[in-house]
A and B are shown apart, each in its own frame.
Chain A
Amino acid sequence: GAGVSQSPSNKVTEKGKDVELRCDPISGHTALYWYRQSLGQGLEFLIYFQGNSAPDKSGLPSDRFSAERTGGSVSTLTIQRTQQEDSAVYLCASSLEWLLSPLHFGNGTRLTVT
């Protein structure tokens, strides 16, 4: 498909374990964004990439969160030593150009920490 693809769609993990969330953006999109959404609420900005570079990491909730993007394409969001408050839907979006074009979202990864 031509849309943004996220995997896994659902992830249940035990408190203290590490998880890795993957995002495949639309081909040719230079900008990639990660957001977190709690049940039925607005989106909390986490991090964005221009190409492989993340100019602003201030949105990451703690040092347990990290993200990388390789080859200007796939991005992974890693959460170490997960906590129950990390439970949320993690949404990835891409856009053709940073800030100048609309965001195309994936369907998200629903993370549940037990």
Chain B
Amino acid sequence: TQLLEQSPQFLSIQEGENLTVYCNSSSVFSSLQWYRQEPGEGPVLLVTVVTGGEVKKLKRLTFQFGDARRDSSLHITAAQPGDTGLYLCAGVGSGNQFYFGTGTSLTVIP
């Protein structure tokens, strides 16, 4: 099993603050995805990164894939209450499966 460790596990911030969520592994992944999950629903894909060093922006969200393809980060600028949810990274590893991270639960307080 290839583990994807996410940090922090829980994050509670005020509206308007910036934050960064990390996804780390000792294994190399051919691609990595970020999902957001809201209570009572399944995860929804936010972005896929495939190239080491790649940076993708989605409005206020910036995703980066590490040069060695072992880690990724998600940065949110000026967080909004609508950003609240469970953020999950997932990678395609050598076992040819989607391995999901441990999750970061984000709460944005109005």
Contacts and interface: CB of A to CB of B under 8 A. Distances in A.
Contacts of A106: 42
A1 interface: no
A29 to B, nearest CB: 14
From DSSP, what is the main secondary structure of chain B's interface residues?
strand
Interface residues of A, number: 21
A111 to B, nearest CB: 14
Contact of B88 (A43, A102, A107, A108): A43
A4 interface: yes
A45 interface: yes
Contact of B41 (A48, A56, A93, A107): A107
B43 A41 contact: no
23 contacts: A4-B42, A33-B98, A41-B103, A42-B88, A42-B100, A42-B102, A43-B43, A43-B90, A45-B97, A45-B99, A45-B100, A48-B97, A91-B43, A99-B96, A99-B98, A102-B33, A102-B45, A103-B33, A103-B35, A105-B42, A105-B43, A105-B44, A107-B41
Interface of A: 4, 33, 35, 40-45, 48, 56, 91, 93, 99, 102-108
Interface of B: 6, 33, 35, 40-45, 48, 86, 88, 90, 92, 96-103, 105
